[in-house]
Amino acid sequence: MIHLLSHILTESDPPFPNSPTMRIKPFARMENGDVCNTSTVEIFNHFGTHMDAPKHFFDKGVSISEIPVDFFIFNNPLILDIPLDAGQLLTTEMILPFKDKIALCDLLCIRSGFAEKRKSDPDTYSNKGPGLSGSLCKYFMDEFDNIRCIGIDWISVTSYPNLEDGILAHKYLMGTFHNRYITVIEELNLENVYRKSLDKVIALPLFIKGIDSAPVTVIAFETDSEKIK
């Protein structure tokens, strides 16, 4: 089975605080006598499911279109279920019980359950989301050369109530203090992959020259573990 792990974008989706969203404007419409239907789409590159490339927080880092295309194919994805509350930071101590599994993955996805608030409480989802602590991101960079990307099911690595620490977390992952980087997929939709294992994930961003990050379409190839037995 194949799952779409990106949210289908709408203009009403919640944004990160003080950030733009998306606008769709009709350009040609058959109902008005045009020969086809077309639209212009204006979208903030950190709106909805998107991938952060190093240039997002490291000006000397590569932009999204400079990352080799084979980077976006992940053959050893891992989903960890770690519930997080509003404003809570995921810490190294919370990750340690899973370190052996993490050492084998190339894509680490954190399912916090906070994604439920995307529809039920969008204000809390935007303004009081959880985050990754700066110390945890340093731990990832120092200890796990295997990780190429981290995916989360909430709005940003940066928890808005913990803005300064979130900026540090981004800087670590984007390679500011290391000679490598870990990309980030923010706002993954992981709700339909319970009790299954993922065989492969492909995460293809919109390749636009020079921009730091871009919307990404993420698809997962799912293996039913019960059938394997």
pLDDT of residue 224: 67
Find the distance separating the first CA and the last CA of the chain, reported in whole Å: 17
Is 30 strand, coil or helix? Answer: helix
Task: Write out the two tokens for 122.
Answer: 């969008």
Structure tokens at 63: 């932009």
Nearest to 64 by CA among 176, 200, 185, 167: 185
34: in domain: no
Quote the number of domains for the chain: 1
Contact 200, 228 (CB under 8 A): no
pLDDT single digits (tens) 30-49: 999 999 999 999 999 999 99
Rounded to an integer, what distance in angstroms lies between the CA atom of residue 68 and that of residue 45? 19
Please check whether residue 154 lies inside any domain of the structure: yes
Q: What are 205's strand-pairing partners? A: 216
Q: Would you say residue 167 lies in a domain?
A: yes
Answer whether 214's CB lies under 8 Å from 224's CB: no
Q: What is the pLDDT of residue 229?
A: 38
32 is a domain residue: no
Phi, psi (degrees; rounded to nearest 5) at 108: -105, 120
Whether 73 contacts 107, CB under 8 Å: no
CATH number of the domain that 89 lies in?
A: 3.50.30.50
pLDDT attached to residue 171:
98
pLDDT value of residue 225: 55
User: Is residue 39, in this structure, part of any structural domain at all?
Assistant: no
Q: Which domain holds residue 80?
A: 2-7+46-228
Helices assigned H by DSSP within 128-183: 134-143, 163-173
- By the 8 A CB rule, do 178 and 172 touch? yes
In a domain, 31, yes or no: no
- pLDDT, tens only, 170-215: 999 999 999 999 999 999 999 988 766 789 999 999 999 999 999 9
Q: Is residue 16 part of a domain?
A: no
Dist. CA 48–CA 205, nearest whole Å: 12
**pTM for the predicted model, two decimal places:** 0.95
Cα separation, 201 vs 72, in Å, equals: 8
Position 30 in a domain: no
Residue-wise pLDDT tens digits, 124-161 = 999 999 999 999 999 999 999 999 999 999 999 999 99
Which of 115-119, 139-143, 225-229 is predicted with the least confidence, judged by mean pLDDT?
225-229
Comparing CA positions, the residue from 67, 86, 15, 99 lying closest to residue 175 is 67
Q: What CA–CA distance (Å, rounded) separates 206 from 98?
A: 32
